[in-house]
Amino acid sequence: MALDGKILQRAREQLAASRRARELRFNSRRDELYVKNPRLFELDRDISLACVNAASALLRGGDIARVEADNLRLQDERMAVLRKMGLSPDALDEVPNCPLCDDRGYTSDGMCVCLKRLYKNEQAKELSKLLKLGRQTFKNFKLDHYGDEEREEMRRNFRVCKLFAERFSVSSSKSAGNILMSGDPGLGKTHLSCAIAREVSEQGYSVVYETAIAFCAVFDKLKFQRQFDEDLERDANRYSTCDLLILDDLGTEMKTTNTISAVYDIINSRLVSGLSTIVNTNCYTEELAEDYSPQIASRLLGEYTVLRFRGTDLREQLGPNGTM
C-alpha cells in the first residue's frame, strides 16, 4: 500500500509540533521548579557535569569510583529535595506522548503506531476535502432516475464500480484494473467515482481525486516554474504513486502539447507500474484519438474497462448536495 507523501508530510509535521509543545511544557515546568528551589537547578547542573566526568574518566583512566560516588551522592540529594517539595522522584523526567518511539514516529521496526494514527486522520481529512462535492455513496445511487433504455447499462456500470471498490487491492501480481467513464455531464460519473474513492480510501489505500484542470495546471506550472517548488513536485509525485488516481472531467482542461503529454505520461506510467486509475470524460470514446492522441485513446480503450453513460442530464432531479 503506497503512502501518500503529501499526507505523510502533514502527519510528520503534526508529530513534530506535538513534540515541540511537549518540550516547551517540560521546559517551563522545570524552570518553575528551579525558581522555587534553586538548589534543584544546581544539582541538575552538577549531575550533568558528573556524567561528563564519568565519561572522561572512562576514556582517560581516571578515578571512576570517586566520580560514581559523587554522582550517587548528588542523585540522593536531588531525590531528597524533590521529596521535600512534595514531588515524586520522576517529577522532572520528560515523558514522551508515545513511549514506543519517543515521539519520533519511527521505531526499529519502521513506522510507529502513533504516526500511522496521525496519517490515518490526515487521510480522512483529505478524503472529506476531496469529497466536498457531496455525500455520494453506492447506497444513495438511484437507478430509477434513469430512463428505461439506459437503466440496464447503468445497472452494469454500477455493478462494475461497486465490485471494483470492494475488491480493490494493490499487489504486484494483479492490478485492481482501470475504468474509463465516458458520456455527457450529469449522468452519474462523478457520483460513482466519489463512491469508489470513499470506499477504497476507507480501506486505507491512498486515493487522489483530481480534476483534469487542476492536474494539468500542476504540469503547466512545473514546466514554466523558475525555481524548484517542493509542493508542485509533491503533487506530481502523488499522481504517479498513489494507489488509486481518479482523474475527473478529462476534456474540460486547456489542451496543449504539454498537458496532453502529461495526461499520456500519467496514464502510461501507472499502467506500467500496475497502479489503478479511473478517468472520467465528457468526450465520446470515438473522439479521444482526435482530441488527445491515438496513443492515449489506445491506452484508455485497450487497457481500461469502458463504461458508457447515456441519457439526459440528471442534475436537475438531484438534491442540493448532488446525491441521486
Q: Which is nearer to Zn ion, 118 or 127 (CB)?
A: 118
- Residue 211 is given by DSSP the state E
Place of cell 465490485: 163
Q: Is 153 helix (H, G, I), strand (E, B) or coil?
A: helix
How far is it between the farthest Cα atoms of the chain? Answer: 95
269's CB contacts (< 8 A; 6+ apart) are 240
Q: Do the bridges between strand 179-183 and strand 276-281 make them parallel or antiparallel, or are there none, so unpaired?
A: parallel
Contact 130, 23 (CB under 8 A): no
In the bound state with Zn ion, the residue whose beta carbon lies nearer, of 11 and 101, is 101
Q: Cβ closer to Zn ion: 114 or 245? A: 114
Rounded to the nearest whole angstrom, what is the least distance from the CB of residue 276 to Zn ion in the complex?
Answer: 31
Write down the least CB distance from residue 98 to Zn ion, Å.
Answer: 3
The three cell numbers locating residue 80: 531528597
Question: Among residues 7 and 114, whose Cβ is nearest to Zn ion?
Answer: 114
CB of 125 to Zn ion, least distance (A): 20
Dist. CA 101–CA 123, nearest whole Å: 22
Across 26-167, the runs of DSSP E, i.e. the strands, are 106-107, 110-111
Instruction: Report the nearest approach of Zn ion to the CB of residue 120 (Å).
Output: 14
Q: Which is nearer to Zn ion, 104 or 151 (CB)?
A: 104
Closest CB 114 distance from Zn ion, rounded Å: 3
Cα–Cα distances (Å) from 260 to 198, 216, 254, in that order, read 28, 9, 9
Return residues touching Zn ion (CB under 5 A): 98, 100-101, 112, 114
